[in-house]
A and B are shown apart, each in its own frame.
Chain A
Amino acid sequence: MEKMRGIKAYLQQSGLLIFILIMVGVLALLSDRFLTPANLINILRQASINGIISVGMMLVILTAGIDLSVGAILALSVVVTADLMHRDLPPLLAATAGLSLGGLLGFVNGWLVSRIKVPPFIATLGMMSFARGLALAYTGGKPVTGLDAGFRFLGTGLVAHIPMPIIIAALVFLAGYLLLSQTRIGAYLYALGENREAALFSGIATGFYTKFVFTASGVLAALSGMILIARLDSAQPVIGLGYEFDAIAAVVIGGTSLAGGEGRLSGTLLGVLIIAMLNNALNLTNVSSFYEGIVKGMVIALALILHGLVRKL
């Protein structure tokens, strides 16, 4: 009996890993460039942008929320940061301002949800439109290009041959892992998502932690935006369009329940990798961009179905 449960738990844990291995196999057959070291590094670098956002998204979803505004918050934060640098503000200050702005907008989301009791979907849908509009208005729709060389190290630099984006994403995942599995904040977040009322009756400051997760999501969206513009050397107001889709997909593929209270960060990591591999493969195999969305939607559905099947075992 115990042994059966062990095997079942193992399969549930590794279902995604098996899916990834199958995917790697198929992609290696489809394109001989796929398994090259350069391409694998490339995948990881691309994954790091969505990965950082997904950690924040996971915190929100774990508390039974959702954050649709990450792409828009990212855009507003980066155009402000880029513009401040153009106005000769030191890069560090400009970046701090951008991150704070992301945090502030996230905090507003959390405040709307916890205090005004606006459903997360609506609150962040509004923020998505508001922040995107502000980014467009602020720049007049024009990109801000040519960034400080030191700042660009965030996106293009290497430390011990490892690209900076990968290092930063790894640190964010490590922090997320420690937060969720080793601290009491993590325990509170799971409790909050599992049963908000019981969490309240247990003396957990539910309002505070709701604001906390949305603020974290905003800051992380802004952070991943910094890395993105550092690589692109340009901050456009339309940057990060649709990023909420990839982040939510990664979290959900990773097995986090949209109802809250259930999920592991390792699952989210695997979800992020699946999405990145998929984006990469669509590029390598020259799938027409018209078909990209179709293939992506189908693969995500397939991953979820497999996940569901393994769960039912």
Chain B
Amino acid sequence: MAIGPCILRMEGITKRFPGVKALDEVRFDLCAGEIHALAGENGAGKSTLMKILSGEYQADGGTIHLKDNPVEIANPQTAQTLGIAIINQELALIPYLSVAENIFLGREPVKQVPRFVDWQKLNQDAAEYLQRLKLDFGPQTLVEDLSIAQQQMVEVAKALSLDAQILIMDEPTSALTEKESEILFDLMAELKARGIAVVYISHRMEEIQRLADRVTVFRDGRYVATSEIADITIEGIIQQMVGRKLQAHTPVTAIQATETALKLVDLTVHRHGIEALNLSLGKGEVLGIAGLVGAGRSELARSIFGVDPIDSGDIFVDGRKVRIQSPKDAIAAGIGLVPENRKEQGLLLKMAVGENITINILKRISRFLFLNKRKAMDIAQTYIEKLKVKTPGAMEKTINLSGGNQQKIVIAKWLTMHPQVMILDEPTRGIDIGAKNEIYALIRELAGSGMGILIISSELPEILRLCNRIAVMSQRKITAILSREDATQERIMTYATGG
């Protein structure tokens, strides 16, 4: 497929945030009918540049040319008129409205007289877009009832309906299953054939290599290079991203767990459809839980952690039977959880980095009720250094940090209290390779110190790389437990699909 003429040119774009220069004179161009990947570690400035292009942020310097005409993109509405649509990492749908209403929000078709909303047409039109995406839910479904993956597809449908010439996709597949990703890829090929330019931000190198025509790499807010995909290898892209060569990762050493850190006996949670589930996790063991979206993995984590308490069955931590009715009980029992959505569940975004890191141990660092704030900040500082969190300081607001650094803070929160069992739900979602490797190394280190670790992940290579054993879930049940030696992507997928 030949790439069309250049339709977008961004030059010298600079953007400052309090305390950080997010973009430093970067450039980026885009041709009709191409898929242009934008790569870089978290904090490299990819999302910031795209938010400038889509009118959410204003650049502090630089120019934007659309089809050789200089443009000012003052707000998202302007971007929409200019034919620029964005699908963000954070989904922008209204949960209590239907799929159709979300797709046509602010652009609802109206009848001639009286000019009321034409619901029939609204739903018909929406259904058409859903069909084109081969989605299996109707236009009148409430967005609230959709999975994150399905919500993402609604966003794609919305962009389609806007007839966008430039479509920005920021990490679209990070929450999708493989099947859903495939549908999305087919769709991208279709968009491309129609001459639509797609900006594709992803941390998944395989996807970039497979889909993109060109790739541009940013590092620390600066432009590094743009390459034809045929002229560069995955290693080459990664090298441009990190500015150094990565060491090959060491394989997992088999461990012989003798004592159990966590044991679940006949666990039953009616509201999640989990019945009589049994599982045990050894001290120093990393146990992966694989499965498709909706298999019940996160629900299991929520139940163990007491967010949705179990109805019957027993939980043993370090051989002791514990009663868990709330996260508070779980923490007291020595269980930590790095939740699936770090922004909604893991962090107090407007509070300081240091306050987030120490929130679990305030009791330990206060005398009676009075907090020892200096001690809190000292502890926070220790973990900031230990986990190499990139932040101007412990007093910085957490919201100003990049995704990878935020995730490190969620993990640090738990490290402060040395739990016996740590559950990590999608610990590296939306995180760049550099930070990923650091988190992997950390998980190994924790397991090495005797902690039992449960990892839920949709990325099979991640599970295969980290885990001693792998439990596969399908339809709220554990369908197989594989040892490291027996596990392959194919076998896991077979059990995950219930086969």
Contacts and interface: CB of A to CB of B under 8 A. Distances in A.
A200 B327 contact: yes
A195 B355 CA distance: 13
B339 interface: yes
A198 B345 contact: yes
B355 A187 contact: yes
A297 interface: no
Contacts of B359: 187, 191, 202, 204
B348 A203 contact: no
B3 to A, nearest CB: 42
Interface range for A: 20 to 34
A182 B362 CA distance: 11
Given A198-B344, A198-B345, A201-B346, A187 B362 contact: yes
A262 interface: yes
A117 to B, nearest CB: 15
Interface string A222-260: 000000000000000000000000000000000000000
B371 A204 contact: no
B307 interface: yes
A104 interface: no
Interface residues of B, number: 30
Contact of A203 (B328, B347, B371): B328
Classify the secondary structure of A's interface with B: helix
Interface in B303-362: 305, 307, 326-328, 330-332, 337, 339, 344-351, 355, 359-360, 362
Nearest to A5: B18
Contact of B327 (A182, A188, A195, A203): A203
Interface string A170-188: 0000000010001111111
A307 B369 CA distance: 33
Contact of A183 (B327, B339, B370): B370
A183 B307 contact: no
Nearest to B348: A194
A203 B346 CA distance: 11
Contacts of B351: 190-191, 194, 261
Contacts of A182: 370-371
Contacts of B330: 203
Interface string B114-145: 00000000000000000000000000000000
Given A5-B18, A182-B370, A202 B327 contact: yes
A29 interface: no
B19 interface: yes
A134 interface: no
B363 interface: yes
Contacts of B360: 202-203
A194 B362 contact: no
A284 to B, nearest CB: 41
B484 interface: no
A112 interface: no
Interface string B245-259: 000000000000000
A205 B328 contact: yes
B369 A184 contact: yes
B77 interface: no
A190 B350 CA distance: 10
Nearest to B364: A184
Contacts of A183: 366, 369-371
A183 B347 CA distance: 20
Among the interface residues A187, A199, A202, A261, which one has the most CB atoms of the partner chain B within 10 A? Answer: A202
A184 B18 contact: no
Contact of B362 (A1, A188, A200, A205): A188
B345 A187 contact: no
Interface string A155-178: 000000000000000000000001
Nearest to A261: B350
A198 B348 contact: yes
Nearest to B368: A183
Given A1-B19, A5-B18, A201 B371 contact: no
Given A183-B371, A185-B369, A204 B346 contact: no
Contacts of B436: none
A184 B355 contact: no
Contacts of B363: 184
Contact of A195 (B19, B348, B371, B413): B348
B315 to A, nearest CB: 16
A262 B344 CA distance: 17
Contacts of B337: 201
Among the interface residues B328, B337, B363, B413, which one has the most CB atoms of the partner chain A within 10 A? Answer: B328
A312 to B, nearest CB: 14
Given A195-B347, A198-B345, A201-B327, A184 B19 contact: no
Interface in A21-57: none
Interface string B366-394: 10011100000000000000000000000
A248 to B, nearest CB: 22
Contact of B371 (A1, A184, A198, A262): A184
8 tightest Cβ-Cβ pairs between the two chains A and B:
A184-B362, A203-B331, A183-B369, A203-B328, A194-B348, A201-B345, A202-B359, A203-B327
21 contacts: A182-B370, A183-B369, A184-B362, A184-B369, A191-B355, A194-B348, A195-B348, A195-B349, A197-B345, A200-B326, A200-B327, A201-B339, A202-B327, A202-B359, A202-B413, A203-B327, A203-B328, A203-B331, A203-B332, A205-B328, A261-B348
Interface of B: 18-19, 305, 307, 326-328, 330-332, 337, 339, 344-351, 355, 359-360, 362-363, 366, 369-371, 413
Given A182-B370, A195-B344, 13 more contacts: A178-B370, A183-B366, A187-B362, A194-B348, A194-B349, A195-B347, A197-B345, A200-B307, A201-B337, A201-B339, A201-B345, A204-B328, A261-B348
